[in-house]
Structure 1
């Protein structure tokens, strides 16, 4: 009897556990059972419901596993890419530029264009770069040093020019200075343009060649011209070509040298004051007033005397007097053209307070040829108003002018003559 009771008790426990298990799956699948007791649905129905629940749960687990399997590698690639490329500043410069060039406008490495696979970034190497992007073997920083050297090299080679009338010739000079640390080779200095209607090149060669110029060295070729007219107007331009130490060619162009000269093509014409006054009545004239602030009338008078002499005029009249503290000075000269023999007269009238800086100078030019009047006026005006080298008539630098104002002696950068007030 006791054995039967224990057996019934075990069966009852098993049925209770089975119903409890089925009730659990009903809850998961949101199915309703009336009650989880012995009076419920038949056991077969419970088994069917449990089987359906197990199958559904298994399918759900499989779907989740598939999704996780697809997401995990992609996440791993992104994490690896972020770690590998996260710090752009630690990359070589040429790779930083390549990444910035191909990245999306939003500016993230993870925002790569759809047409460029992510793996391509991880397998990028110097062999796949173009020759222009490929760095020099060694450290990547040498690429930047290579470019900056080229710019410094080009700026350290200079070309300056100047000109002067020597006798009956116009001499044009070009000075090539190699201020770099390396030797330049195959240096050519050539003429680009000049006023061929009024100047004729003496030599047939319009260029000069030098095999090399050492560091801190220079070359100064010159070109001689013969004037064909009494008035020369125009510009002379020259060029310089050379090869640097890397074999790269370079070309420089000088600043045009302006020629507008009559006085340098004149010769003094001696005459007495009475004849000079009669000659003036037969000539056409033009005039201009020049005001200066750097000299007193007395200094202006002395300067004008030198200018008339340097301009190849014969000094006919020169006098200076003071009236009521005002200086009145007059200088007159006569010259004629070397080629045409036509007369040109110059008259300078200087006026200003005695001993004080600031004076006015009226320049009057008369001539047989009208084409010579205006160039002669401009020539004299520039000589009076500008700081020019008395030897080659080249303009002085601002530093030279300041030194002259302080009473110092300077050297012309073109003809190397010493200048002092």
Structure 2
């Protein structure tokens, strides 16, 4: 009879019972794997899992029969949870694929239950969005993305695109518009009517441009030393690219450029570089922005030293944008700045501090408080303050407020007795307080 299970179904079920022991245990294990694992990707159920089933990763609900009122609300609630997995892949919304035409029932269910009384009509208006509405947004979002590059005369000049995106605000707008376009295209390509009714050439254009702009995004993130957020390439994006565009999976070839690593720095300066930087300007930008990022990260370790180079690197970037530097001059200048940072090249290092980076850092924050003729006093103070903090240093020093207070008191005594009293340097109370605060901050961010 037709209602009897096929032989392969019987064999499958016997195998599952042998493995799990009972139908109850089988159901339990399958549900847990769906909730917390990668497989199965789809559960097909009849009158099950409408209550007590909480699986935030569940993204799509396919409805194939009529549900009403409370039961319908319970069903759609299965996909209303946001979710982010350990790899950073996120789910921001769920889909209801309605094969049974229950939209009218859903509207009645949403309007009749008192649990929704606290919501305004406009809050509920976006609860359900027809896929067709999302697909209709695709042409405009595609146009919005391209509008950012209207001033680029040659559509195939990738270098011009990257240069245009040097502006931080414009780059963020590009990322936002690209995300909107990716979302709209992903939805559209899941709709059979859109795929069937859209000319093949237009489909290919949509897909190719998504791949192109995703690659552009990856390039400018490297060029302008941004932290690459691999959630940009989470499974749903990779699947969209791989399924429809035959793009390779995004992989990280190397860590972002480390200006203190001579080998990777040399590779960037080669003709193609480790990141495929094809032009002199691209290489220079990669070095400049990697250097700028390193300065920002290390600024509190030696404010005076890094602030000077921060101004120099920004001036080089600005001069290149204003066309006051050629591509080659830009590359040479930012490379020289990078070399000075890596080699810790200080200007006019006092003889007493030669080879003592910690003392030089303290000297850098003290120098503005002393006259040029008081260099010897500034050097002595730099050495003394470092020694005072070392004297009070102990395990968990930064968790011990008493130990910190003792160190600060000793620095205060030194400044008042030795610097102001013995050497006659005119330091006010406010200036001494500033020196103490800056010295403690410096110590926290260096070796202490």
TM beyond 0.5: no
- Between 1 and 2, higher relative CO (CA 8 Å, sep ≥ 6) is seen in 1
With the shorter chain as reference, the TM-score category is under 0.3
Instruction: Tell me which protein shows more strand as a share of its residues.
Output: 1
TM-score normalised by the chain length of structure 2: 0.23
